[in-house]
Amino acid sequence: MMNKYLKEFFLRGMMFGGFGPIILGIIYFVLSKSLSDFSLGGSEVFLGIVSIYLLAFVHAGASVFNQIEHWSIAKSLLCHFSSLYVAYVVCYIANSWIPFDWGVIGIFTAIFVVLYFIIWFTVYFIVKATEKRLNATLK
């Protein structure tokens, strides 16, 4: 059973992982056109592309945790949250977008938690409202 979800994780990750580097490329392009002193070395570009691909891969793949029907909402939420949090922290630190400083990581964590749960509750209530509307239509 778990093999099915692992396969789905990798399939979703591979399908949508490429969007991360595309977005990174657009950001680098815009920065290079708008900042006169913007420059990146080859290793910085390579690290950015690989890390953003992996971040997008994990982000897309992690959506499978919400599909595992025999898991509780809390368990799927914890797995989804944990995988995204680790991927974001590693990516941001690897690219020096945030320093490896516990104070900064604490601030990042607080912002991440708040935004994650705002998004999660918004999606949850939209799904519940849609479900209620569909059930009313069926009656």
Domain ranges of the chain: 2-97, 101-139
Residue-by-residue DSSP string for 41-82: -HHHHHHHHHHHHHHHHHHHHGGGGGG-TTS-HHHHHHHHHH
pLDDT for 49: 86
Q: What is the mean pLDDT of residues 18-39?
A: 80
Check whether 133 has a pLDDT greater than 80.
yes
pLDDT for 6: 78
- State pLDDT tens for residues 41-73: 888 888 888 888 888 889 888 888 888 888 898
pLDDT for 2: 63
| Calpha distance 65→75 (Å, rounded) | 9
pLDDT for 1: 57
Among 20-24, 91-95, 134-138, whose mean pLDDT is lowest?
Answer: 20-24
- Measure the N-to-C terminal CA separation of the chain; round to a whole number of Å: 34
Check whether 19 has a pLDDT greater than 80.
no
- State pLDDT tens for residues 74-131: 999 999 999 999 999 999 999 888 999 999 999 999 999 999 999 989 988 998 999 9
Helix (H), strand (E) at residue 31? helix 19-34
| Calpha distance 59→39 (Å, rounded) | 28
